[in-house]
Amino acid sequence: MTTDVITLSPELRARLRGLRIAPRRALARGGIGQHRGRERGSGMEFAQYRAYEPGDEPKAIDWKLYARSDRLFVREAERESPLTVWLLLDASASMGQVDESRPGFSRLDAARQLALAIAELAIGQGDRIGLLVVGNDRVDGVDAGTGPRQRDRQLLMLDGLRASGAWPGSDRLAPVWERIGADDMVVLLGDLFDPASVDLATRLAAARREVLAIQLLTVGERDFDYRGGRRFEDPETGEVLPGDGAALRAGFFERFGAAQAALAARLDAAGIRHVRHVLDQPLDAPLRALFAPPGRR
C-alpha cells in the first residue's frame, strides 16, 4: 500500500538542518570549492551569517563579530560548482512490501519521503536535482533542474507512484545513461534485492558517476519475528514458501546475512557509499549517515 500525498513533517525538516550534499571530490578537499550553493566554511563569495552550531569549524567563526555582539556566528559562502544529483528510485513490486506493525507504510513510501527530502536539500543548496523511477519494466523520469518548480515536478511524479512489475532489462535502461552525465551524483533508493539494480549501480560507478545507495528493509527482514504457520510470497515472481516462522528463522538469518555481506562487499569494491535503513527507524538516519558533516552523524 502507498499513501497518496507525500509530506515531510516539521520534526523531520528540523532534523535535516545542517545536512549538506557534497560530492566525494569535495569531501577529499574538506568540502571547499565543489558546490554551488550555501555551504559551511570558507568559499569564493560571502553569502550570509548564521548562528554557530556544535561541530562547526572554529575557523569559520567570525571572531570580530563575536567581539562586538558576544554571540557566535559562522560565515556561509556561495561556492561555484555545478552539482547534479539524480534520484534513482526502485518502484518494482517488491518495494510495496509493508510491515505487520505498520501496514499502511511500505518500502516505497519510505523511498518517496527520502527522495523528497534529498530533493529539498539539493534545491536548498542551489543544485540541480533529477528523478528516475525504475519499475514496471520501464524507466520514467523528471529531467534535472533547480528551484521550487523542480520540487513540484518531482513531487507530482512521486505522489503518483505505485510499486509494480519488475526491474527492466538492460535494453530498457537507455534513459538512465542518456540523462546521467559523467561526474553526476546518483542516489539509489531501493531494497537492492534484484541483482540487476546492483549491476546498474556498479556500472554507473565504473563510468565516473558517484553513486550512493540507501537500502530499504522491513522490520520483518531485520528481526524475522514471525510465529506460527506462514506463507512467504515473492511479489515479483509469485513464488510461495509455506512454513513455520519460528522454524525458518535460523535458516533465514544465515542466508540473509550472507547475502547482505556479499552485497556490502560488492558495493564497497565499486566505491559506492551505502547505508541500510529499516522502516521503523527515523527517516533522517540514512541521510545523516551520508550527508552530515564528520563528527555529527
The yes-or-no verdict on residue 37 having pLDDT over 80 is no
Please, where in the chain does CATH 3.40.50.410 lie? 82-291
The pLDDT, as a whole number, for residue 40 is: 41
Query: How sure is the predictor about 128, in pLDDT bands with cuts at 50, 70 and 90?
Result: very high
The segment with the largest mean pLDDT, out of 25-39, 193-207, 215-229, is: 193-207
The pLDDT, as a whole number, for residue 42 is: 40
Average pLDDT over residues 255-259: 93
Q: What angle do CA 15, 21, 25 make, to 5 degrees?
A: 145
Average pLDDT over residues 254-269: 96
The yes-or-no verdict on residue 158 having pLDDT over 90 is yes
What is the per-residue pLDDT across 109-118, written as a single tens digit (0 to 9) for each? Answer: 999 999 999 9
Average pLDDT over residues 194-207: 96
Q: How far is CA 149 from CA 8, 23, 272, in A?
A: 17, 24, 30
**What does the block give as the cell for 61?**
567563526
Which of 2-6, 62-66, 117-121 is the least confident region? 2-6
Query: How sure is the predictor about 46, in pLDDT bands with cuts at 50, 70 and 90?
Result: low
Which of 75-89, 141-155, 163-177 is the least confident region? 75-89
The yes-or-no verdict on residue 137 having pLDDT over 70 is yes
Which of 24-33, 128-137, 227-236 is the least confident region? 24-33
Q: Which CATH number fits domain 82-291: 3.50.30.30, 3.40.50.410, 3.40.30.10, 3.30.43.10?
A: 3.40.50.410
The pLDDT, as a whole number, for residue 36 is: 46
Nearest to 88 by CA among 195, 247, 198: 198
**What does the block give as the cell for 199?**
549491476
The yes-or-no verdict on residue 39 having pLDDT over 90 is no
Query: How sure is the predictor about 7, in pLDDT bands with cuts at 50, 70 and 90?
Result: confident
The yes-or-no verdict on residue 245 having pLDDT over 90 is no
The pLDDT, as a whole number, for residue 134 is: 96
Higher pLDDT, 44 or 139: 139
Q: How far is CA 16 from CA 39, 72, 116, 279, 281, in A?
A: 14, 21, 12, 18, 15
Average pLDDT over residues 95-99: 91
Q: What is the mean pLDDT of the chain?
A: 85
DSSP state, residue 293: P
Strand partners, 40: 76
Instruction: Please answer whether residues 162 and 135 qualify as being in contact, where contact means their C-beta atoms are separated by less than 8 angstroms.
Output: no
Instruction: Please answer whether residues 188 and 214 qualify as being in contact, where contact means their C-beta atoms are separated by less than 8 angstroms.
Output: yes
Nearest to 44 by CA among 32, 54, 56, 28: 32
The yes-or-no verdict on residue 67 having pLDDT over 90 is no
The pLDDT, as a whole number, for residue 1 is: 44
The yes-or-no verdict on residue 192 having pLDDT over 90 is yes
